[in-house]
Structure 1
Amino acid sequence: MTVQPHRDLYVLLDGVVAGAVPGRVLLCAPAGTGKTALLGDWLAGPGGNERPAVAWVTLDAADDDPEVLEAGLGAALRCLVSLVLPDTNLQDVSVLDCLRSVRESGRSAVLVLDDAHVLTAPESLRKLACLLDAAPPNMTVILAARNPPELPWVKYIADGSLTVIGWEDLALDRDAAAAIFAENRCELSTQELDAVLELTAGWAVPLRVAAIRISAVGDVPSGVGDVLRYPQPLSDYVVGETVSALPDHLLRFVESTSIVDRFSPELAACLDDANVDLALAERERFCVPIQRFTSADGLTYAWHPLLRAHVRSKLRVTDPDRLARLHAAAGSWFAGSRQPIAAVEHLLAAGDDLAIVDFVYSHGVTAVFDGQGAAILELLGERHSDKRGVRLVRSLEALERNYADAARAHHSTAFAADVVALRPEIAKAFAAALGVEIAVLSGQPMPTDGDVLSDLQIATGIADLDCYVTIQRAAVCMFTRDLIGSERLLRQALAFADIGAHPRLVLRCLARLSIVAGIRGDLVTMTTRAEHALQYAVDHAQLDRIDAFQCVAAVCMDRYLRCEGLPDDSPVYALVFGPGLHQRPDGTTAPVSGGHAEVAFAILEARRSPIPTVDDADAVGRSLIGMLTRGAQAGLSNTFVTPAVAVLLDAGRPAFAGEVVDTAHRVFGENPDVRVARAMISVAQGDSASARDLLDSVLEASEFLHPPLGVRASMLSAVVAHRENRSAEAALAVRRALELAEPNGIVSPFVDSAGDAAELLAGLPPGADHTRAFLDHVQAKLVESNEGRNPGLTRSEKVILAELRTGKPLRAIAQQLHLSLNTVRTHTRNVYRKLDASSRAEALEVAARRRLL
């Protein structure tokens, strides 16, 4: 059997021997870790006469007699003297005389006392301590032991003479382990070798036993699987001896804490009533192998994997009830520490179905929002899939993936499943809240029957669940137009943040408050709240949540309404163009950012250029139709219809705009947004009469008009009146549009009708309904946002432009229009100047490119 070298330890020991002070080495590790092999290989190394003189004593129980020990030490020291001073007369030489002779020789000497743990008698330990204290500077005493003898170790540590080598230092590395398996004709893959190393932690004898077992099986993968599944043959010899030597209270502590892979002092105290610090200190005295891990959460411990396997196996046979209780206690502790995966693993091991159901209701919401819902559901598997709480958690997990159909399926079957819960009212509140969110996501009517509303009033005492339920109560109010009640409930839900509600839920409260302000028509507050929510999302690592994207969408729509773009280096811009699609089980896809955000992002992208490209405009139309068909909510989704139609008309896509309006009609009916969108298409097609009828039906109705829609309807009404030469009505309508637009800084409806707006606003004096500053701002945006696309051509100049396209000479145009030739020439020069053209052909080319014809 080849000994695997520890060259780093050889260097360490060489340094101790060469030191200027007496060397004291404690080589302390359990059986089978390679203590004796290490020392033998080191002492047999190359070096010739430069190697130290060595005396080796293997102690046994008889040496615990002080007289026997003294005789044995004397014989060993006389052997050393004979090596360093060959001509010395050793008859009747005392131990002190031997030590004096070693000093005088000047040659390095090593005295190895193997199995020093057998020395327990006080007088024997005193004699050993005297030897250590009297050793000369050129002598090193090495004690190899399974646990440290009771010697004054603190004194040796303090004077810097003690070197300690533990089991971790003796652990074999990957190369050494691979060599052992190769020696036994086993070629393990990287993954197989890692698995065996993880189990043995490099413990030499278990590694050799594993190599022998795998070699005997013949098939390496099967042999490795057998070793990993049934490690007891590896652990019984090397661990059994360690465990059998422990006092009862320490053994109980080891058993209790072995049911977890790692334990903190707090978890250990939960599993065992022993003093944790004292137990760990006593563990040192008995040299029970332990691993230490330092992380941001503090120091944790883990017993050696083989020790854990050994103790767990023993408990499983001798005291299964205690094992179940320990797993249940560990599951409860991990649940309270927000480590749901570990909690479920231990609760499953405990086999308590009621505890699992209670965990699902008490911690399932938090686990899903922590991103661990799928992993927990996989652990629970089919065995617990029929439980109502598990199905409700599946529904919430589907909602988090924006998959309303799957959420509805799990939610509906949960009512047919068995209800086993410590508090049934929790199940009612959770189910009712999920039903509301499913309706929100899928665009279904809000559930408003008495039982649902009653269940949404239940207080569960679980911060995350109470916050979630309150948010869904607010959603019912929001989409049934009780905006005051919705805002009040959302503020109540925010209060749960003070008692530890999940940041995901706090973000949702902030996002919904922004949406309520937007539905109410207070766009300034909407944007302010959205920006505050986004900062919260940044601070709490929640930017990947759909609520953050909804806030980005609010900011985007605010920028669109104000005709302001997003800088490329804006963090909001990065969010707009960062998310992609996620695939559903049926192969279809949905935007990660959610439907509303996808539409808002597409509109903002299309508006980055003065004239939207066909591709950008079509992306707006597709995203809106997708959102409307996947799950639109009246009061929110409808606000995107007219901005999307404006983009499509601007890009010369009236047919697609009509398709969008038809889809919106199927979803919302002939509501104001649909009628105004139809009027936009009619205006673009020159059908003023149809547009007038549609707009009058909107403006004369008593129902609330969202501010951007009210501004657009008034502005379109002004355009229609202007084209029909009803100047007074046009002026009144444009004033009404300015009055509605100014409080929220709405500009886009004016820009979307820029050619007509330029004429309507030109020379318009300020009135009580709007300020000069806002009027100037709108006029500046007409120029800035359109870059001459609608360059303020007057009605007469537009007529001349249209006639220029016929190819007629100016004189013929003048005769046809009953104008003087000079007047036609003046209008033509103005058209050329405003289009930055120098000829008729160039003017017509520019006008065609800018869609002025």
Structure 2
Amino acid sequence: MDLDPRGEPFLRTRFALPARPATFLLRPRLAAHLDQALSTRLTLVDGCAGAGKTLLVADWAARLGQPVAWFTAESGDQGCGMFWAHVLQALRSAGVPLSPAVGCPGDPRSVDRRLLARLAGELNGRERPVLLVLDEFDRVASARITEQLEFVLHHAGQGLHLILVARTEPLLPLHRYRAAGIMTEIRDAELAFTADETAALLELHGLRLPTEAVRALVERTRGWAAGLRLCALAAQQSPDPEAYLKDFEAGRSTIADFLLAEVLKRQPARSQDLLLRVSVVERFCPGLAAELTGRGGAEPLLAALHGQNAFVEDLGHSWYRLHPLFREILRAHLRIRSPGLEPELHRCAARWLHASGCLPEALAHGAAAGDWDFTARALVDDLAIGRLFTGLRASDLAGLFAPMGPEATGPAADLVRSARDLAERDVERGLFHLRRAEDRLAAQPPPAAVRLSCLLLESLAARLSGAPGMAERAVAAAGEPLGKVSAELLEKHPELTALMLTHLGAARLWAGRFDDARAALSQVTACPSGVLTAPPREDSLGQLALIDYLDGRLCRAERTALAALGETEKYGVGGRRSAGAELGRLVLAAVAVDRGELGRAQALLDEAAASGAPGDPVTAAGRSLVTARLLLARGDPRAAAAAAEPALPAVVASPWARTQAALAGSAARLAEGRPDSAAQVLGAVTCAEEPACAAELAWARLAAGNREAAIELLDHMRTGTRCGPRATVRAALVRARAAQEAGDVAEARRLLARALVEARRERLRSPFLEAGPGIGHLLRTPFLQGLAADWLSPDSRRGGPPSTAADPSPPVVEELSGRERDVVAGLADMMTTEEIAADLYVSVNTVKTHLKSIYRKLGVNGRAEAVRRARDHGLLRSREHGLP
């Protein structure tokens, strides 16, 4: 019988390959990686407890088809003599022929250097290298043994391929082997099971889970082999394995027993205490660990725990985190070992993190400690109350404060309550909490951050209640505290001013101050795009799209609305209650109605309605407007009239909302054949000075048989920036119909051609669809068909090919003036706008104005088309260069 240096027999189990369970999963990717051990001198399989290191190497060795010397180290081994005696026994057990000259250590504590030299010499002379696996090598704590092993490995040359299986990195000079390219490494990350491997492992246990359930399990265990196997074994005993694997309590499982015994209890008392205390935080650094433990010197402890693969992961820059399952188990163990300590640790972490500038984590720990006054104060002092309305975690932040009860009595807590209420569109409760906070702050001037938080909420409440004056005062008052806040803090919270300007723009828009609204909203859209500014930018773009639509600029409104919908999608911060997205869809639906695309309009309206009740009066009015127009286009004037009035009350009436409701009501009565009633509806709101109202009222009077009154209205109709194509096209159609009734068919056709050119750029179809059979008859004439063929014909509205009926050169709607002909001549000479302006001694803006008029009159959209049409009609005047 072979005896070790202590005179005790060698235990054969320490030299045998460990048995693999029936549910062991062969992982080809790792086996292929281990195959490199046959061509490298050193292989290190380094992973945490239960990572599957030993079974992986044992299975690979068993399949190799050649002898492998295996030795499993134990903590009880003492001294160099004992270690080398076991190594020599492992070699002999594997059939490696060693001459008697090598010898065997006689002293458990030491080994003769000559013995090591003889061993290395014999291994070096072998034709076939020896494979030696040293399992549990982390139990070999002697630096002397590691030095001796390096000596043998170096001098054995190609005769020895050493495989170390350990939880920690050995003290060997690994950098030399890496640099020489003679080392194979398999680390924790590679040992982790993938989702596919996890599914295969579960199947070996008779369990089949959906793909998402498997991924969730891998995420929770991080692919830890022992955790997956223990979960699978426990799930086999459960009546609902899928539910068990989804919701099992790690602290009350065999996994907890394994980790507590194999990881926690193997650490000294100080490291155990550190691990238990840092389990309350998601991540930690030496400073935070020192704060939680009340002791310094945490840095070497954390580095050692990471080096030992004690489920402490290095995040870089001196930050660490625990394996999620280990953290879960430690927290459960902490509650048992030290009841009542966890809230205090959360409170301690919250204050340290807040002082270190880690606000989100500080808020989470303040909430976990139930310290609501601190948590609310931290949010407000950091100027971050706007995060409740914007950013990736707005809903998470709202949920974090959801458990806050009446025990929090500070003004900051009331500001958070107000923000939560206003986010849910409860203006009354929001203002109640805002006023209570202001009352509690009245004793002395509040800090600038607190004052700005109050003003932000004030501007939002003003927007939601339709009170533009209140919004103006709030934003104006923000100037002073903004000057007192550090530039660094303002740069960290760009959402604050973006939100205030967005609310101001909405309030101005509601009041009908379109230019002022555009000025405020354009400041928001000009700010840098980012995750925090995306929601207010989207909101502002939606409102700008509505202004464009109300101005009758369909194409521009469509582009702006589409930009609004795409703004938050870039960052994934859009939500069910996204105001900008809702308004953007409403504008797109309104554009679709005006273009006769009723199916698309209904789909967009349904998508907008899915966000719930309208958030503010502007959105409510927009929804009412689109709904009424769509119902009218579908032939239901009674329902359209009922839908025209917005249901959301407001402090101040909106002139444009009132006008739009009157226009819808008038159109509904006109569709019912009641022109006098239609005129009365418009007259009741005294909006005849508005171009859209004037054109609609003229249409009603013409329908009532009062042609002279209709034309007189149009003669006095104002034109300008607010007079968009919808009004001018309607006006042209009224004049065309009046001329037709007067028997002047040529004039009617000329006016109709003018209307078609105006409408074509915006693809505005609804006025023609509503114009009646008389206008429809005129549209069937050849040259008018040419103007309508590619956009107004039934084929084009259905998305089919355009009508083939066309006039090769449709007539010019209006004659070009002399100066306009000069501009066209410049275009024909390939001159730039600036060159034409210099040539004609006029400003660039004047040339641009001439160009717009030329395009309208010629019925074209660009320079090349304008030159071609002018040539076709002989409008290009010859002139000497540089002279008009």
The TM-score with structure 1 as length reference comes to 0.64
In structure 2, relative to structure 1, the CA distance for the partners of 1:755 and 1:641 (3 Å cut) is farther
Match of 2:365 among 339, 342, 346: 346
Match of 1:707 in 2: 691
Match of 2:461 among 422, 435, 448: 435
Distance 2:231 2:588 in 1: 63
Residue correspondence of structure 1 range 608-647 to structure 2 within 5 A = 612-615=633-636, 617=637, 620-621=640-641, 623-625=643-645, 627=647, 633-645=653-665, 647=667
The answer as to whether partners of 2:462 and 2:507 remain within 8 angstroms in 1 is yes
The answer as to whether partners of 1:70 and 1:127 remain within 8 angstroms in 2 is no
Tell whether 2:623 aligns with 1:598. yes
Distance 1:734 1:219 in 2: 76
Match of 1:54 in 2: 69
In structure 2, relative to structure 1, the CA distance for the partners of 1:758 and 1:206 (3 Å cut) is same
Match of 1:502 among 504, 521, 533: 533
Match of 1:736 in 2: 716
Match of 1:469 in 2: 500
In structure 2, relative to structure 1, the CA distance for the partners of 1:734 and 1:681 (3 Å cut) is same
Match of 2:14 in 1: none
Residue correspondence of structure 1 range 151-190 to structure 2 within 5 A = 151-171=172-192, 174=198, 178=202
Match of 1:25 among 39, 43, 61: 43
Larger mean Cα displacement after TM superposition, 746-755 or 355-364: 746-755
Distance 1:486 1:597 in 2: 16
The answer as to whether partners of 2:25 and 2:200 remain within 8 angstroms in 1 is no
Deviation of residue 369 (structure 1)?
A: 2.8
Match of 1:358 among 377, 380, 386: 377
Match of 2:609 among 568, 571, 581: 581
Q: Tell me, what secondary structure is at the counterpart of 2:738?
A: helix
Match of 2:35 among 15, 29, 33: 15
Tell whether 2:266 aligns with 1:286. no
Deviation of residue 463 (structure 1)?
A: 4.1
Deviation of residue 255 (structure 1)?
A: 7.4
Q: Tell me, what secondary structure is at the counterpart of 1:113?
A: strand
One-letter amino acid of the structure 2 residue matched with residue 425 of structure 1: R
One-letter amino acid of the structure 1 residue matched with residue 66 of structure 2: R
One-letter amino acid of the structure 2 residue matched with residue 237 of structure 1: A
Q: Tell me, what secondary structure is at the counterpart of 2:170?
A: coil
Q: Tell me, what secondary structure is at the counterpart of 1:7?
A: coil
Match of 2:738 in 1: 757
Match of 2:170 in 1: 149
In structure 2, relative to structure 1, the CA distance for the partners of 1:213 and 1:328 (3 Å cut) is farther
Distance 2:212 2:515 in 1: 60
Larger mean Cα displacement after TM superposition, 143-152 or 468-477: 468-477
Distance 1:229 1:206 in 2: 13
One-letter amino acid of the structure 2 residue matched with residue 7 of structure 1: L
In structure 2, relative to structure 1, the CA distance for the partners of 1:488 and 1:236 (3 Å cut) is same
Q: Tell me, what secondary structure is at the counterpart of 1:369?
A: coil
In structure 2, relative to structure 1, the CA distance for the partners of 1:458 and 1:501 (3 Å cut) is farther
Tell whether 2:388 aligns with 1:367. yes
The answer as to whether partners of 1:510 and 1:529 remain within 8 angstroms in 2 is no
Residue correspondence of structure 1 range 313-352 to structure 2 within 5 A = 321-330=344-353, 344-352=363-371
Match of 2:262 in 1: 238
Distance 1:195 1:595 in 2: 41
Sequence identity, in percent?
Answer: 16
List per-residue Cα deviations over 1:62-84 (Å, max 9, x = no partner).
5544x55455544544555xx24
Tell whether 2:148 aligns with 1:127. yes
In structure 2, relative to structure 1, the CA distance for the partners of 1:171 and 1:311 (3 Å cut) is same
Larger mean Cα displacement after TM superposition, 186-195 or 137-146: 186-195
One-letter amino acid of the structure 1 residue matched with residue 307 of structure 2: R
One-letter amino acid of the structure 1 residue matched with residue 324 of structure 2: P
Distance 1:167 1:741 in 2: 68
List per-residue Cα deviations over 1:498-550 (Å, max 9, x = no partner).
9996222234344545666887xx656x9757744643553553887433554
Distance 2:191 2:719 in 1: 83
Distance 2:759 2:519 in 1: 40
Aligned-residue CA RMSD (Å): 5.9
Distance 1:583 1:744 in 2: 30
Distance 2:607 2:653 in 1: 22
One-letter amino acid of the structure 1 residue matched with residue 146 of structure 2: L
Match of 2:569 in 1: 541
List per-residue Cα deviations over 1:235-263 (Å, max 9, x = no partner).
32122156439989xx96x7787544468
Deviation of residue 103 (structure 1)?
A: 5.8
The answer as to whether partners of 1:210 and 1:227 remain within 8 angstroms in 2 is no
The answer as to whether partners of 2:542 and 2:560 remain within 8 angstroms in 1 is no
Match of 1:305 in 2: 324
One-letter amino acid of the structure 2 residue matched with residue 27 of structure 1: V
In structure 2, relative to structure 1, the CA distance for the partners of 1:518 and 1:279 (3 Å cut) is farther
Match of 2:421 in 1: 395
The answer as to whether partners of 1:33 and 1:203 remain within 8 angstroms in 2 is yes
Distance 1:579 1:682 in 2: 34
Q: Tell me, what secondary structure is at the counterpart of 1:384?
A: coil
The answer as to whether partners of 1:599 and 1:640 remain within 8 angstroms in 2 is no
Larger mean Cα displacement after TM superposition, 538-547 or 191-200: 191-200
In structure 2, relative to structure 1, the CA distance for the partners of 1:645 and 1:757 (3 Å cut) is farther
The answer as to whether partners of 1:262 and 1:302 remain within 8 angstroms in 2 is yes
In structure 2, relative to structure 1, the CA distance for the partners of 1:26 and 1:411 (3 Å cut) is same
Q: Tell me, what secondary structure is at the counterpart of 1:149?
A: coil
One-letter amino acid of the structure 2 residue matched with residue 286 of structure 1: Q
The answer as to whether partners of 1:565 and 1:604 remain within 8 angstroms in 2 is no
The answer as to whether partners of 2:521 and 2:540 remain within 8 angstroms in 1 is yes
The answer as to whether partners of 1:707 and 1:741 remain within 8 angstroms in 2 is no
In structure 2, relative to structure 1, the CA distance for the partners of 1:217 and 1:468 (3 Å cut) is closer
Residue correspondence of structure 1 range 111-122 to structure 2 within 5 A = 111-122=132-143
Distance 2:552 2:759 in 1: 21
Match of 1:814 in 2: none
Structure 1 unaligned blocks of 5 or more: 400-405, 655-679, 684-690, 795-853
The answer as to whether partners of 1:209 and 1:234 remain within 8 angstroms in 2 is no
Deviation of residue 706 (structure 1)?
A: 2.3
Distance 2:405 2:671 in 1: 55
Residue correspondence of structure 1 range 257-268 to structure 2 within 5 A = 258-261=279-282
In structure 2, relative to structure 1, the CA distance for the partners of 1:58 and 1:121 (3 Å cut) is closer
